[in-house]
Each structure stands twice: as C-alpha cells, then as structure tokens.
Amino acid sequence: MSEFCPNLAPLSIGSLPYTDPGQACRLMLEYCPETPAWPQLPKRAFGEDVYVQFSGGFPGLVREEQRIYVDTRQELGPALEQLYVAYLTHDLDWAAVAPQDAAGLKALAQALQGQGHRPQLVKGQVIGPLSWGLMIPDQEGRPILHDEMLADAVAKHLHLKAAWQERELRKLAPRTIILVDVPHLRSFGPDFAPLNRERALALLEEVLAGIEGFKGMHCCGDIDWSLPLEASIDVLSLDAYDFGNSLLKYVEPVRAFLKRGGWIAWGIVPASTEVRRHSVDTLLPRLVELVQALAREVDTPFHELLRASFVAPACGLGGLDIASAVRAMYLTAELSKAMRARYLESS
C-alpha cells in the first residue's frame, strides 16, 4: 500500500449512459474529481459493450455487427502463439484497446489535460476471465471457458489488456486502481461445470498479476465472498445496497482481508431507477448500519473501517437513463462528503 487511503472517497464503477464521451467525462470529473474512472459507454457503440471492449486480438475472434464469437474451425495455432509471445515479452502495445472501442479513455485524458489537473488516482476496469469465457461462445454457441486451452488464453489475454490499460492510466495520475468485473461469480459454486474453485482462482490470479498498482474485484450480486477475498486484491467492490449484509457470513476472510490492508468499496447508491427516491438522508444511515455491523463482526474499530472504505454506486450506470445516472453520481459524491464531515473530519 502507498500513503493513499480511501477515507470514504467517491468511486465510480465505470459505465455511464452517454453517447458523447466529453459529456461523460465532465460528469465524472464533477462528482469524482480526485478519483475518476474512465467511462465505458455501452450506448455509444457495440464496441463499448464490456464483453466486446476487451476482445480485440483474441485468437479466432469473429466480430460481426452485434455479435462476437470464437471460430474454433480456424487454425488457431499462429494466433495463440502471437498471444503467448506478447504475454511472455510483456508486449502491451499488442494488447491496446482500439480507440473507437474506448472513447471515454481518450476523452478523460483530454479533459484532465485541459484542466491541468492530476487526480489522486484514476480507476479502470476490465471484465474477468470467468465472465468473458462464459459469455463468449464458439461458432456452435458453446462458451469457450469449457475449452481448457482457450480458458488459459482468455486469462492471459485479459492480463495483457489490464496491464495496457494501467500503463495508459498512469499517464493521468500517480496511482491507479483496476477492478476486475466478476458478475458470473454469482453462479459459481460446487456444481459450476467448466472448472473447480482452484482453477477459477488461478484464472482470476492470472489477470490480477497483470496489474502492478491497486487491484480489486467488483461483483454486484450475493456470492461466496471467500473466493475473491482469497485472491490477491486490494479492493473489494460490492452491491451494498442490496447485498451489503452478505459480507457478514464471511467474517474470517473479511477479517484477514482488512488485516492485510484491504479496502471495501460500498456500492450503497442503487444503480437502478430506484435511485430517484433516495437522498443522502436515506442512504447515510443505511451505510452506517452496514459498516458498524461489519466492524463489530470482524472486531475492527468503526472509524478504521471507514478510512478503509470508498463510497460507490452499486454497479455500473450504463443501462440507466441519463437523469438517473446523474442522480446516482450526485448522491455518491454527496454521501461521501456527508460521511466524511460527520465521521472523519472530527475524529
């Protein structure tokens, strides 16, 4: 860990519903000026869909108008060899995301340059290997995660994508956080067909190993939290609005995570149109109750846990209408400010 500490800073999950990257970055910098994320814009183009955005260069990948898949009928050997050479030589240029598939990344760099401002950190995000491998099929519709060779290639591919992204973000701020999005951990369990727990962790660790700065995982469901907490992460990001109490079932893993200096991003602001009926006054006591309950269970001082916390939306906001997304970003920033004033500035 560096001298940076979250101290209830606001943190965006990433996606926003804009089609104009400039507008998205202005919103991001208005509400998260010291800890912005580069915005993914899934409504702008198919290439900004989280599963498509990091797909470029994968062996056998076919990208059609509104569909991507891996054609295993091709001779994949040469493309796999290129991937492994890039991985072994740490060739990050090979892993560059096409500018048209990540317009928010370039726009954030331009906005920060225009302001002459360097934030404390910049956040990025990449899809996890389990989710990508389950959602990307072969030509027959079978998830490529079922193919052991391709599953290994997925992890190395995303390792490079995360490392390339981190290199680009380091040009914008002295610190970076890259969160690996793991939505499909919600369906992971003893009967999870493609792979066992040990193999799942190994694939996740392969991606995390590509990140030198702060690294974490984000899941917006009720999952077995012992799995991500066992991984080498600095930040655990969760949907605390709907599933905050789920952490209480994993006292020992959470305690060990916090003891080694881990941070929690509490996604207490709903990432749905439900955000319209909320205010700081409704969300603040809800967050305080969650943090107090966890602090008691893991035997950690309340204020110490607050200092190790971010305030965040429950998930990405890219699927919302603009007014609801703006409301969510506003509440995230205002809740952060109110929590800091009440609990940290006087302590």
Total domains in the chain come to 1
Contact by Cβ (8 Å): 339, 293: no
In the three-class reduction of DSSP (H, G, I as helix; E, B as strand; rest coil), residue 47 is classed as helix
What's the pLDDT tens digit per position in 147-199? 999 999 999 999 999 999 999 999 999 999 999 998 866 555 544 556 788 88
In a domain, 62, yes or no: yes
Provide φ and ψ at 123, rounded to 5°. -105, 140
Q: How far apart are CA 179 and CA 218, in angstroms?
A: 6
CATH number of 169's domain: 3.20.20.210
What's the pLDDT tens digit per position in 202-241? 999 999 999 999 999 999 888 889 999 999 999 999 999 9
What the block records as the tokens of 60 is 């056998």
Contact by Cβ (8 Å): 16, 318: yes
In a domain, 70, yes or no: yes
In a domain, 107, yes or no: yes
In a domain, 161, yes or no: yes
Q: How far apart are CA 323 and CA 30, in angstroms?
A: 15
In a domain, 59, yes or no: yes
% of the chain exceeding 70 in pLDDT? 96
Domain that holds residue 220: 9-344
In a domain, 56, yes or no: yes
In a domain, 4, yes or no: no
Q: Which residue has the tokens 């609990």?
A: 343
In the predicted model, what is the mean pLDDT of residues 251-276?
Answer: 97
In the predicted model, what is the mean pLDDT of residues 313-337?
Answer: 97
In the three-class reduction of DSSP (H, G, I as helix; E, B as strand; rest coil), residue 313 is classed as strand
Provide φ and ψ at 160, rounded to 5°. -70, -40
Contact by Cβ (8 Å): 158, 128: yes
In a domain, 180, yes or no: yes
